[in-house]
Structure 1
């Protein structure tokens, strides 16, 4: 094949000049100076979903992850264009892409699911430690169908360090980091170690974090929430109801702690482009959920703490085949066991009434095989694959708390399998893409199996996407112009939770009810989407702009029930409505000087329940942000300004969703790289919310009781060897 580019990279230690490295080469007079002709061949880099997709897959590099790393992945990525966060406090948040959350944004680790329960409820943490990730890929729109028909909003694929996928040039290599955060008096540390011997690479990772209650600029509960709910608690001594104090300056029960570790082994023979690997990892996290008024002064009064643990086993194999039509084959298989308890701790009148309210368990297995192929002229490239998975999910709810304890179990089993392809054809300035995924899913409710009663649904969904791109150099006075149009048709089958849920959810402070339980089963969700993307380059500036529109026949979402529900208090139920989502995301990168870069971003989505003529709840507002960064070989410094406008497009009465106000966050950071022999030591600090602004995230169920942290400073050290 043709060799298009040959790059030679020389790693030069800091402080060493090229003159010191290279001495002039003396050529004997009798030696011939005629150069021998050398033919260079190279094998093209193996394809990934990112290189195959017509839509750009945004990769957040390790450097940015290290700078923005928070306790959760949602907060770490929450200001990427088109990405916000379902903030539930420092211990739990999940990415929200284009206003979509839950099952419509698939969370992945190394191309397989994270196997947690963050898609069941946004207060459940994602089983990932941001400090230990190499990079994160953000897939938007229909290109994410490679990972499932449910991922219409997108997919977040975290690249972990649990396996060594390349042979190291040193026997021992690794890195560690430790940091301290003033807000919450928190500390965190993480590290990884690679040991190489022959074709084997052993990889170990670990992390730990611990933080107390965070400080906030004002009161925990907003003024509008106080007026609407007027939280009170019954006093048995007086027989009256008394106001619940509104905390000021500190958010009670917002502390969190976590620990992770993993061990993996990889087989990488020297003469064969083969990878075989296996790993085990454990994730353990405990965090508090800020107080939410249950709606009745006589109800239990206290705090909830969520305690989750996951054990996971991964197996991976891949083989590259050089210049043939099939360029690479990769197979992955994983199993995870997840346990999650929502622990109630009584205070005041309920002092001493401590019990597990709802416990959730999940055992899941999923595997996939990807075949990458490429025509000899490289005009046609693509991926063909299959995937299959099974999941056993159990929810145990407390009907009557101690001392008269009574608990009820709900048990579900879900099986899915899929066949997919994504093909890309390029001819000159034009590129075309076609993708399709067919998926079969079966959901069974075994909750009343002992009485001989079963119910369930089984169906097939089909999703397709097509795209066309035109790209030209030196067009319309620009250095480069790229235009992409995308059309997608997506079908999604409702999950077991959406159909049959019937338990208390501590995070949202409501009783959760499945959409099938009213006798009218949820239908298959169907949507038609359009997207237009522009990329313009002129001199030192690059502008990227995407606009999109999705039209749903029956969009499934959680909406608060109008009245009390059968003695279970306030409830939310999954319902289906016709809906539209329209929005944009934009980003400008402008290199002002050799070492100075300005980045601007903005995004917005407008979501409408067209059946009832009202907004879809918990949507992100219009956001704009900027970052000015100065960077050289050793030192970097950045200043960020992030503004979120007010979100007043909320669901009206009978039980309204409260609006959220606008806020502006100002952050600053700096880092200094210090060479230590062949190693690198980095000192860093980051100041957040310098204006100490009160900020409430409109995408959160708990925005009215849990604002973002106030002013804080994080400082630490990182060492790589």
Structure 2
């Protein structure tokens, strides 16, 4: 039986089991003796008087429940005679309890009014739901506030490394990028405020994300395919970096935040400041961030050519009126960092210089239509420019600089989303249009690809159907059209190739909440990815990456069929989450070493090849409150990746993270906290042909923090990483041959003041 058939059988089995649960939970009266003790009524908004559809209703202390229909009405029959309490719950409203008495052979009306509270978005991952319904169909996570501050690092890859299912592609601190379930690069989509950033961080290991981590006010991670909402490049997951450059909430008058950070491992210093002035219906804001660091220090000494320098600034304006919210922002990012590629030659170095200018907007409005009642339009127009420069230090003290590679890209990413009212069997849903256009010119002495002009337009829908007060169905479909054209340059003067592709994505998921605190979710999805210009047309030495790349213009779109299943339990002193996944890919593109060496550059030759592949694995995490303020957390994640062949033995995929175990204990006594963490990483010997094996290692760390409320809120965080100064090599390191160990002991101090 082949992999795709196994996945299809699993889908049918999973849906059958959960629909059986649906029939049990939707019709509990069939399991109760007939008493003809009934109640009916409607649930309304206490302020507007509007009838509320799909509100969860439950008889306290029992499993008897239902949901209101699309008109806000309900009925419960054959109740046990006696006094009961009816519980009503809905996203954006305070939980309400109402007492009543059920009498045999009698029917009473019990109406409920719910008080609006607004939706608490702290736990709702907006990236995975355009309606913010709060129901989850695949594992996700959100970081904000102090939880985000504690993870402050020079790059987003380092910030998220160690989270369930998330590792880091390392090539020095600056270009470190998140890896989700063994997939990185163009298979993981990095967004800024819900739209594509317009940089080129996904194209190569030596390219960085063009945003300083200090700027982010909220960070969301979705593990698993998300092509339904975001199209190509979301096969493995999505990371949404959210800022407040467009203010969405503010206090009247002047408020702000100031922070600073320092680290010993690379003599890093960083600072950030933001000021916001709020009026009744509008606000303006401005921010500036700066970061500078030297070379990374390892247990074996200094790792040359790993320094970095960032500057990041923005101004923004926001509006919040009765029927219009949103605003505009203008941001600038400038970065210079070194690449550890010419380490053995002290007279040469490679430096990457990048800048990005971004103009973003977001506007939302309430509509008066009978079907659509909310609309939101987002856009991000950007200009990105990057040079990879080879620097030679001559004996006479002069310095020669050669621009080996240059990227110049203009991009526009935009999405229009319309939300519709609950209708019939459907809860609130969304329909939308998205557009992506970009023009990339590639130049320099060693331009190894042509440029590219690409645009795509897509239409999508996201729908939810409450099947009972415990079970909810989600489904959606997306149609994408993409046109791409190769652009000639000095190295590719005669290229004239055009691709037109129509593709579709879709998903179906279930969310089941049988008891309070327990949530089970699953999703099966079809996703796709369009090949990048490097994969199609590369033919030359890539200076920054240290390889000779060969593309293939006949590569097809990657197609993925995958399933996610998770269980989350949170009750009292215990919190658990278990997630599993399997993804089967057709036309999976692999950056494969050929075993050859290019004579002119001396770089190893890599070729882009396609074939079938499967990735599978899972994550487990648990948190237990041992005593008041004392919490113990543990977790493990694993992923396996294989190329599959019909007529040859299967091969391991390259750059697959090893199994990791995480343990952490913390004592939080309100004003301060102290803690320790232990990460154990196993040996990775399931490697691709010509890929190096890496040994396992253990890292010990400590953390302490202090909170002070005086003229605002102050937070001070002290961390010690790799406290034992252990030598280890990261399997995802892209430094040639992985001959250099990772950073040694690091002591960092961070301070943030909110006023």
| 1:434 counterpart residue number | 475
Structure 2, unpaired ranges of 5+: 1-43, 47-88, 95-111
CA contact (8 A) 2:234 2:527 kept: no
Query: 3-state DSSP class of the match of 1:592?
Result: strand
Q: 1:583 aligns with which of 614, 617, 627?
A: 617
| 1:250 counterpart residue number | 302
Deviation string for 1:409-457 (max 9, x for gaps)? Answer: 8221011111112212122221111121111111101216997752111
Change (3 A) 1:250 1:448: closer
User: What's the CA shift for 1:285?
Assistant: 1.0
Q: Give the Cα separation in 2 of the matches to 1:459 and 1:280.
A: 33
User: What's the CA shift for 1:319?
Assistant: 1.6
Change (3 A) 1:507 1:641: farther
Q: Give the Cα separation in 2 of the matches to 1:482 and 1:681.
A: 36
TM-score w.r.t. length of structure 1 = 0.83
Q: Give the Cα separation in 2 of the matches to 1:349 and 1:382.
A: 68
| 2:261 counterpart residue number | 179
| 1:631 counterpart residue number | 668
CA contact (8 A) 2:655 2:732 kept: yes
Q: 1:120 aligns with which of 203, 221, 237?
A: 203
CA contact (8 A) 1:145 1:152 kept: no
Q: 2:422 aligns with which of 371, 375, 387?
A: 375
Pairwise mapping of residues 383-532 of structure 1 onto structure 2 (< 5 A)?
Answer: 383-399=430-446, 410-426=450-466, 427-447=468-488, 454-473=496-515, 480-516=517-553, 521-532=554-565
CA contact (8 A) 1:546 1:585 kept: yes
Q: Give the Cα separation in 2 of the matches to 1:279 and 1:573.
A: 41
Query: 3-state DSSP class of the match of 1:398?
Result: coil
Correspondence 1:693 to 2:738: no
CA contact (8 A) 2:246 2:326 kept: no
Q: Give the Cα separation in 2 of the matches to 1:348 and 1:657.
A: 36
CA contact (8 A) 2:451 2:533 kept: no
| 1:205 counterpart residue number | 287
Deviation string for 1:585-626 (max 9, x for gaps)? Answer: 111122222311122121111001113621111111101102
User: What's the CA shift for 1:692?
Assistant: 0.7
User: What's the CA shift for 1:490?
Assistant: 2.1
CA contact (8 A) 1:179 1:716 kept: yes
Deviation string for 1:477-502 (max 9, x for gaps)? Answer: xx644333322222322222221223
| 2:56 counterpart residue number | none
| 2:252 counterpart residue number | 170
User: What's the CA shift for 1:87?
Assistant: 0.9
Query: 3-state DSSP class of the match of 1:65?
Result: helix
Change (3 A) 1:374 1:586: farther
| 2:40 counterpart residue number | none
| 1:680 counterpart residue number | 713
User: What's the CA shift for 1:211?
Assistant: 0.8
CA contact (8 A) 2:45 2:114 kept: no
| 1:35 counterpart residue number | none
Change (3 A) 1:39 1:462: closer
Q: 1:214 aligns with which of 284, 296, 308?
A: 296
Change (3 A) 1:420 1:524: same
Pairwise mapping of residues 305-344 of structure 1 onto structure 2 (< 5 A)?
Answer: 305-320=351-366, 326-344=372-390
Count of aligned pairs between the two proteins: 637
Q: Give the Cα separation in 1 of the matches to 2:264 and 2:438.
A: 41
Q: 1:709 aligns with which of 743, 746, 749?
A: 743
Correspondence 1:619 to 2:656: yes
Q: Give the Cα separation in 2 of the matches to 1:515 and 1:630.
A: 55
| 2:102 counterpart residue number | none
Q: 2:339 aligns with which of 281, 289, 298?
A: 289
User: What's the CA shift for 1:535?
Assistant: 2.1
Query: 3-state DSSP class of the match of 2:720?
Result: strand
CA contact (8 A) 1:443 1:496 kept: no
Q: 1:555 aligns with which of 588, 591, 598?
A: 588
CA contact (8 A) 2:719 2:749 kept: yes
Deviation string for 1:553-572 (max 9, x for gaps)? Answer: 22012112332347454322
Query: 3-state DSSP class of the match of 1:142?
Result: coil
Change (3 A) 1:74 1:452: closer
Change (3 A) 1:324 1:693: farther
Query: 3-state DSSP class of the match of 2:627?
Result: coil
Q: Give the Cα separation in 2 of the matches to 1:361 and 1:308.
A: 10
Q: Give the Cα separation in 2 of the matches to 1:628 and 1:567.
A: 54
Query: 3-state DSSP class of the match of 1:546?
Result: strand
Q: Give the Cα separation in 1 of the matches to 2:182 and 2:753.
A: 38
CA contact (8 A) 1:149 1:461 kept: no
Structure 1, unpaired ranges of 5+: 9-37, 219-248, 400-406, 474-478
CA contact (8 A) 1:340 1:361 kept: yes
Correspondence 1:541 to 2:563: no
Deviation string for 1:199-223 (max 9, x for gaps)? Answer: 22111111101111121012xxxxx
Q: Give the Cα separation in 2 of the matches to 1:552 and 1:280.
A: 39
Q: 2:326 aligns with which of 264, 271, 276?
A: 276
Q: Give the Cα separation in 1 of the matches to 2:493 and 2:539.
A: 18
User: What's the CA shift for 1:196?
Assistant: 1.8
CA RMSD across the alignment = 2.8
User: What's the CA shift for 1:695?
Assistant: 2.6
Query: 3-state DSSP class of the match of 2:173?
Result: coil
CA contact (8 A) 2:45 2:113 kept: no
Change (3 A) 1:713 1:293: closer
Q: Give the Cα separation in 2 of the matches to 1:408 and 1:712.
A: 38
Q: Give the Cα separation in 1 of the matches to 2:483 and 2:743.
A: 42
Deviation string for 1:113-146 (max 9, x for gaps)? Answer: 1211111112211011111211111112134531
| 2:41 counterpart residue number | none
Change (3 A) 1:378 1:169: farther
Q: Give the Cα separation in 1 of the matches to 2:739 and 2:406.
A: 24
Query: 3-state DSSP class of the match of 1:515?
Result: coil
User: What's the CA shift for 1:149?
Assistant: 3.1
Q: Give the Cα separation in 2 of the matches to 1:708 and 1:452.
A: 44
Q: Give the Cα separation in 1 of the matches to 2:483 and 2:622.
A: 44
Change (3 A) 1:377 1:541: farther
Change (3 A) 1:80 1:523: same
| 1:136 counterpart residue number | 219
Q: Give the Cα separation in 2 of the matches to 1:356 and 1:209.
A: 25
User: What's the CA shift for 1:327?
Assistant: 4.5
